[in-house]
Chain A
Amino acid sequence: MPSRRWPVSVAMHTTAAVTSFLFAAPVLIVLVASLKSSTFLDFSWAPQDWTLRNYREVLGDPLFPRYVANSFLVGGVVTGLTVLVDLLAAYAFAKLRFVGRDKIFALLLATMMLPFSATLVPVYLIVAKLGMVDTYPGMVVPALAAPFGVFLLRQFIRGIPDSLLESARIDGASELRIFASVILPLCRQPMAVLAIFTFVGSWNSFLWPLLIAQSPEMRTLTVGIATTNTQFTQNIGGTTAVAVLSLLPMAVLFLAFQRYFIRGVLAGALKA
């Protein structure tokens, strides 16, 4: 790297600091507020002002743990199934020359940009017809239709040399066996990328679970905090604590798997 003169480097550090402050400040202000017993009007940094009361109030609400559990459950199942189902399909698209393959894949790709609003109403009607409104399957199953994972994994599997598969075939391995013992172990990285992206997407999704969860105990976290008018969304202390709690799992995931996040962003955005 070429060495920079110091005024340039100071200017760049300042720009970077100001930018990250502007992005992070709203979240950090809310984080601090959630840990204080005072309001913004009588704000003080005094040590006796720090408290976990806001969190105790939120966690004391009998439904709040249920919302969190629902989000984890739905997110976990959607993620596990998406990775499995998409990997199976991606293998077929990448390595098997079946009739109509390229046309079907083009169809799949074409729907990737399809806005959710174009199918929302009928998807709801179909799910209602199947009797899945207000059930976990109603939240999980339609989410498995998303084509993104097939695209992501197919790209990767195409890079696996055919000779690996051929030698397994000569050894008499069945297709399922090849899938499980050759493809699956090699795909761990893109599977992790897809898993993280699917989980984050499911955790943050709102409109679909809002429609499906009709009884309070079926609500996911986003739906619960957006629709419930209890003490934790009525007062500012409670609201801040809820916002922080809902961010927490995502922040942990991000810090633990940053490079997968970045790779997923790239795969997601550069698909077109």
Chain B
Amino acid sequence: MISRRLRETAVAGPFLSVKGLVFGLFILVPFVYTFILTFQRGSLLTGMRWGGLSNYRTVVTDTLFRDALKNTLLFMLVCTPVTLVVSAAVGLLLSSSLRGMAVHRALIYLPSLLSVVATGLIWKVLLDPEQGPLHLLMLRGFGLDVPWLTNGTVAIVLLAFITAWSTCGFYGLVFMAAFNGIDTELLEAARIDGAGPWQVLVQIKLPLIQPVAQVVLALLTINCVQVFDLVFVLTNGAPGTATYTAMWYVYQNAFNGGSVAYAATMSVMLLILTALISALFLARRTGADADA
């Protein structure tokens, strides 16, 4: 038995070699390297030196990082619930046996096919202060001159809605599959017992898709912490630093003349934040399992 395992290990080696190499070199090593960097200082040109906890002392007093984190959290607080609720509703709609649903599915999925860069271009056109149709509609139809991208808070909320628009198709399909996966006999039984469509939805369907909703929620929040591309295309962090997100600030530090060590320190802070959020959902999840 042991010799068989050794033989299979020898066989497995070549099969795993390439994946092992790239995985080690571009995920495992960098992951450890990130933590090491946080204890260093200096620049790549002059050489890195031991810096102790200086990066961590800086990061907790850095008001720009605090503001960037606030923007990221605002983005997350708008984007996550909107995406979750809308994509669940879309999934429910798509799982119905309505005629022509394939067309609706394709149209709803259309924004999810766009790169974030193309998404940014589209909304740049729609919101253009001189001739953007959506801007003109608000201005002429409602007399509102909305400062879409010139007010920091408005811009962050707007980015959150645009992100929701561009991901609901994707998560809608996930929810569609979850609704389709529900045992139809269960639904039939409920109907025979006299439950109306609303009761079936609230008391049977929604509880049954809850595990999927939790996974989607975790994925959404993790992705929200990373928001970057849309900032790059639509606001560039402007006005001033009002739309700096955490990831945008990391990028500015690492690749636009800042300190890579400090950038790594901020990514560790982001990682801790992400881990805390995931742990929260995980705890909820096991809690729900225990209740059941």
Using a CB–CB distance below 8 Å, which chain A residues touch chain B? 1-2, 9, 12-13, 15-17, 19-21, 23-24, 26-27, 29-30, 33, 39-41, 85-86, 88-89, 91-92, 96-99, 101, 108, 111, 113-126, 141-142, 144-145, 147, 150, 175, 179, 200, 203-207, 210-211, 221-222, 225-226, 233, 236, 239-240, 242-243, 246-247, 250-251, 254-255, 258, 261-262, 265-266, 269-270, 272
CB pair B116–A206 under 8 Å, yes or no, is yes
Q: Which residue of B lies closest to A237 (CB)?
A: B125
Q: How far is the CB of A33 from chain B (nearest CB, A)?
A: 7
A23 touches B107 (CB 8 A): yes
CA distance in complex: A122, B34 (Å): 6
In contact, A30 and B34 (Cβ under 8 angstroms): no
- Secondary structure of the A contact surface, majority rule: helix
Contacts known (A19-B90, A96-B11, A150-B19); A123 close to B101, Cβ less than 8 A? no
CA A29 to CA B101, docked complex, whole Å: 22
A163 and B218 CA atoms in complex are apart in Å by 39
Total A-B pairs, Cβ < 8 A: 269
Set B107, B169, B251, B267: member contacting A118, Cβ < 8 A: B267
Instruction: Out of A23, A125, A142, name the residue touching B108 (CB < 8 Å).
Output: A23
Task: State the CA gap A230–B104 with chains docked (Å).
Answer: 36
CB distance from B125 to the nearest CB of A (A): 6
Q: Which residues of B contact A236 (CB under 8 A)?
A: 125, 128, 131
Closest Cβ neighbor of A81 among chain B residues: B18
Contact B98–A206 (Cβ < 8 Å): no
CB-based contact A96/B8 at 8 Å: yes
Min CB–CB distance B23 → chain A (angstroms): 5
From B102, which residue of chain A is reached at the shortest CB distance? Answer: A258
Rounded to whole angstroms, the CA-CA distance of A116 and B100 in the bound complex is 39
- Contacts A19-B104, A124-B254, A206-B115 hold; do A117 and B170 have CB atoms under 8 A apart? no
Partner-binding segment picked from B24-32, B57-65, B75-83, B144-152: B24-32
- Taking CB atoms, residues of chain B closer than 8 Å to A144 are 18-19, 22, 26
